[in-house]
Amino acid sequence: MPNQENDILAAAGHSNIETEFYSPIPDGYKPGRHKYVAVLGTVMSGLGKGIFSSSLAKLLKDKGLRVAPIKLEGYLNLDSGTLNPYRHGEVFVLDDGMETDMDLGTYERMLDQNLTGDNFATSGQIYRHVLDKEREGGYLGRDVQMIPHVTGEVKHLLRSLAVKQKSDVVFIEVGGTVGDFENGFYIEALRELAFEEPGSVCFVALTYVLEPKTLGEQKSKAAQLGLKKLMENGIQPHMIACRATNEVGPKVREKIAMFSNVPVRAVFSMHDRSSIYSIPESMHQEGLDIEILSILDLHSAVRPREEDKARREWAKFVGMLNAQRTHDITIGITGKYAALRDAYASIDKALEHSAAHLSAKINIEWLDTTEMDPTNPIEIASHLKDLDGVIVPGGFGARGTEGKIACVQYCRENKLPYLGICLGFQMAVVEHARNVCGISDAASSEFDPNAASAVIDILPEQKKIEGLGGNMRLGGKDVQIKPHTLAAMLFGQEQANKTFNVRQRFRHRYEVDPNFIERLEDKGLIFSGRHPEHPIMQVLEISPDKHPYFIGAQFHPELTSRPLEPHPMFMGLVAAAIRHANPDLPAEQISSRWLPTVAQAAS
C-alpha cells in the first residue's frame, strides 16, 4: 500500500498523534490483505441487492476464497426482531440468536454458510456503540462527529469482521437506496475505506430499468439519475446490475455504461427469472466473477478443482429446478400474513428446495386464517379439501389463531399431511387437548392470560434454567430425538435404538406446560423431540400408523433448509403430499428415501 495511505491509517489509529483522521484498526488486521465488495442500490429499494450480492459471493466462494457477507441497515432498531412482517418481510434468526432481516437467509442459503450477529448491523447498533464509547472517554475529549467518528466505527466494524471470520472478501450490502438520509454515513464510510486502502474495494451499483407498458421499450433515464447520485457521493462504480422485468437490451446497457464510466462487459442484466438459484451461473457466463477477480487482483487465489466441483453440484440442483416435474401437488400455508409472501420467505424457499429434490411441482395456496370462521366446519373444509398438505407457520398474537386450530383439526381428522411450525406446533397441542383429550377450555396464555387450562404457557422455572429471563428462546439449540419415531426417521436415524441430538433454530416464548404432557400422550400425541435435560417439548407427532404425516416443531425448520440439503421435515411433508395426491403411486416411483421411510413406519 502507498506510504500516504499507511501514514493515514497510522495517524488515525494512534492515540498520541493529533489528526483529523479517525480510522481505528482492529488487532491482527493488515491493510490490503482483505478485499471488499460493496453493493449499493439506486432508483428504488427492494430490487434484490441481497440476491445479487450473495450470488457474487457464491461465485468467489466456489473458487476457494473465504467470503463474509454483511448487511448494513439504516434503521435505528437494534435488530429486526420487532419489525412487522408487512413492513419488512420475515424475521430471520441466526444460529447465535441474532434477529435479522430476510436477506441474511438469502446469504445462508446461497453460500451454505451459517452467519452470526457480526454479519448484520443497524444504525441503532452503530450509534449505541459510538455513544457508549464517548461516555467511556474513548474519543479522548474530541467532539464526536458523523465524520470521522461514526464513519470510522463503520470501517472498524467491517475490518473486524474480516479478521474474525478470516475472510478474503467481505461482501457489504447497504440497505435502502443511495440518497436516503439514514444510510448516507455508510456510503461515506465505504468511500473512505476505498481511499484508505486503494485497490481493495469494488463498488457494485444495483439499479432499475423501467419498461412502461404504454411505451413498449426499456428506459434508462431513472437508472442514469440514480447512478449520478452515487457518483455525487464520491463513488465510482466498477460494476452495475440492472434489475428489469425482461432482459436488458444491449442499447440500454451501452447507455448506462457510457453514462457511468463502467465497461459494457461489467453491466449485468439481472432480469426476472424463474428461480434466483440460476443467477450465479448467469453471472459466470457473462464473466462477472472474472471481472471481480481482476478488480481486486485475486486471480492467484483461485482453486480451479474446488470451483469445478462446486459448480457441478450447483448445476445438478439447478437442473432439478428446471427439469420437468413428475408430481403435481398443492400445499396450503395458513398464516395471518398470507397477503405478503415475503413474510414466509424461508418457508417458500424450503418448499422450493424439497420440490426440486422430489421432482414435484408445488402449487402454494396462501390462506389467511383471520378471514376464516373457525366455528364453521363446512367453510374450513372448503378451504382445505383440495389440498395435499398444510403448513401452519409461526406468528405472534391472538389474531387468526382460532382459524389455525380449526385447520389443525381438519388435517388430523381427515389425514391430510400436516407440518406445524412454532405457533403451528402450539396450536396442534391446543387442538389435541380440546378435541381429543376433552379439555374444552384448553388455550395458550399468550392469547388468554386468565386461561384455566393453559396447555401452552410461559414457564418461569424453565426460563430460569435457560437463563433467558423474560426474553424469547432464540437461535440454535439442541433437540433430543426419541428413537423409533417419525422424527427419528426424518433425521436419518430410523435404525437408532437410543436418543440423539439435532441442532435447530428457535424463536418463541411459550412452551407446553409439563402438567399436561402425560394426558396428551395418553391420547396419542407423541412428543418425539425434547430438550436434552429439561421437560421442554420441541417436536410432536401422531404415529404414522394413525396418520400419514402429522408433525410439529417448536423450532423453525425453514431457517436451516439449504438448496443442496433440504430440511427433513419439509422433505417428509412434500413426499407425503405426493402420496396424498396419488394414493395408488408405488413408493419406489418417488426417487428419495422420504416416502418409503414414512410408508415403512405406517406398515
* Residue where the block lists cell 484508505: 196
Q: Residue 403 CA to chain centroid, in angstroms?
A: 27
* Packed helices 3-13 and 184-196: angle between N→C axes, nearest 10 degrees: 130
Beta sheet of 418-421, edge-to-edge order? 360-368, 327-335, 389-392, 418-421, 550-553, 537-541, 526-530, 473-481, 500-508
* Contact call for residues 86 and 197 (beta carbons, < 8 A): no
In sequence order, the 6+-apart residues with CB closer than 8 A to the CB of 492 are 568
* Contact call for residues 124 and 76 (beta carbons, < 8 A): yes
- Length, in residues, of the chain: 603
Tell me, yes or no, if 422 is annotated catalytic.
yes
For 85, list phi and psi in degrees, rounded to 5.
Answer: -55, -30
**Angle, CA 525 vertex, CA 523 and CA 526 arms, to 5°:** 130
User: For residues 438 and 497, what is the distance between their CA atoms, to the nearest angstrom?
Assistant: 33
Burial of 203 (0-12, 13-18, 19+ CB in 10 A): buried
Among the listed residues 99, 192, 541, 558, the single catalytic one is 558
Among the listed residues 242, 407, 411, 422, the single catalytic one is 422
* Contact call for residues 107 and 204 (beta carbons, < 8 A): no
User: For residues 499 and 491, what is the distance between their CA atoms, to the nearest angstrom?
Assistant: 12
Among the listed residues 327, 357, 432, 556, the single catalytic one is 556
Tell me, yes or no, if 556 is annotated catalytic.
yes
User: For residues 204 and 49, what is the distance between their CA atoms, to the nearest angstrom?
Assistant: 10
Tell me, yes or no, if 558 is annotated catalytic.
yes
Strand partners, 553: 421, 539
Q: Residue 370 CA to chain centroid, in angstroms?
A: 26
User: For residues 565 and 5, what is the distance between their CA atoms, to the nearest angstrom?
Assistant: 45
> Catalytic amino acids?
422, 556, 558
